[in-house]
A and B are shown apart, each in its own frame.
Chain A
């Protein structure tokens, strides 16, 4: 395992933790692995430790390299100083950096997914819809398209402004102006550039309404982007792996909802043509 923390020079509170597996010689699929970048949730105000390392090692155990992106957050929850594009730029930086080191880390630069939980799902989805904006490579000094994600995994994501929005996340990101928030209502920006997407949510989510995933899926459908959407009946917001080790209470242990993990692996393996 290559485990190290890479700091974003311009912005030292932004880091990328690497969970890069040692190569195993002689395997059927070769020793070049796909990779997943994980964006923890936390309402764009903090980064949840329940949605970080435990997901990275799970991907490792299933043959993927993994990375945890600690992106910019609005710790003071001050909507007068919104984050704006910063998480999107952080995600672009991470994708571009990983792709540039594909040879060194034995990873396939065309099989890099980005996964996000709750507000981290918003950060991941924002890269999925905005990665081809021309100002991004200019601002970051990275090659064009080097920030493109090859798949999205969105776990109870924040997507929408307006009626179904998660107000805290949107205020921390965009401020209080509804017009500004609408610019980050991501279903509106889905297009042919958006990569294949796996979404899951719980119907009972009392924090981020299930419409966030449903409307994003409807937009993907409109543009014929391959997707899967799994809505489970039971469980509140922020279930992570639905296991006891990331549960703060009994209600967080939900094996039936934990099936999202196998479904997600099946989807990613199909997109990435893995055995």
Chain B
């Protein structure tokens, strides 16, 4: 394992933790692995310890290199609608991982991003906006080097929808006075294949976020899977006791998202 923390140059609060597996010689599929960048949730006000390292080691255990991104958080005066620092952080991280492909023995065309809640918002923002030319210019990275090859969106904040007007609490983080800009309106042919999961009972980020985003993917013929489980609140992570703050967080039936997600990623990445 290569475990190290890489700082984003000039942005000391942003870093990428590497969980790069040792190569095993003689394996059927060679020693070049796919990779996943993990974006923990936390409403853009903090980074949840329940959606970081434990996700990285799970991916490791299934043959992926993994990385945990500590991205920029909102400060007083930051406006949810214009706050896009994390998109630059994630673009930097993606380009950084891709540029280390040889050294870390990873496939530069099989790099996914997984995000939880607000981290899902961030992952999706890269999925819909990675090709904005000013990102590569500002970061000084090659055009396209920040492109994700797949997205995993876990109970993600994604869209503006009619549910706002029903008075349902829809947004996490920030002052919440104005909604995020919806990602569903920016989906296009440049958006990579997406796996989404959510719970119908989520009281913090309504399931419509995933439903509307999936509808946009469908409209643009982007391969996707969407799994909505009936039971369970927001922020279940792996649904296991080690990340559960209460008995309600231990949900073996919802934990099936993990097997479904691996099957989806392996299919997209042509893995066994």
Contacts and interface: CB of A to CB of B under 8 A. Distances in A.
Given A22-B49, A49-B22, A253-B272, A63 B240 contact: yes
Contacts, number: 110
Nearest to A28: B244
A24 B49 contact: yes
A19 B21 CA distance: 12
B49 A247 contact: no
B53 interface: yes
Contact of A246 (B19, B27, B53, B249): B27
Contact of A26 (B21, B245, B271): B245
B30 to A, nearest CB: 10
Contacts of A165: none
A189 B24 CA distance: 36
Contact of B240 (A58, A62, A244, A247): A62
Interface stretch (B57-65, B126-134, B142-150): B57-65
A58 to B, nearest CB: 4
Interface string B1-45: 101000000000000010101101111110001000000000000
Contacts of B271: 244
Interface in A45-64: 49-50, 52-54, 57-58, 60-63
Contacts of B57: 1, 19, 21, 57-58, 60-61
A243 B53 contact: no
A21 B3 contact: no
Nearest to B24: A49
A27 B243 contact: yes
A252 interface: yes
A245 B62 contact: yes
A246 B243 CA distance: 28
A12 interface: no
Interface in A217-251: 241, 243-250
A269 to B, nearest CB: 8
A62 B242 contact: yes
A53 B23 CA distance: 10
B24 A50 contact: yes
B247 A245 contact: no
A63 B28 contact: no
Interface in B38-94: 49-50, 53-54, 57-58, 60-63
Contacts of A50: 24, 27
Contacts of B28: 244, 247-250, 252-253
A43 to B, nearest CB: 16
A33 interface: yes
A53 B250 contact: no
Contacts of A1: 3, 17, 19, 53, 57
A58 B63 CA distance: 11
Interface in B247-262: 247, 249-250
Interface of A: 1, 3, 17, 19, 21-22, 24-29, 33, 49-50, 52-54, 57-58, 60-63, 241, 243-250, 252-253, 274-275
13 contacts: A21-B53, A27-B50, A29-B242, A49-B25, A57-B58, A58-B61, A60-B61, A61-B61, A244-B27, A248-B28, A249-B28, A253-B272, A274-B241
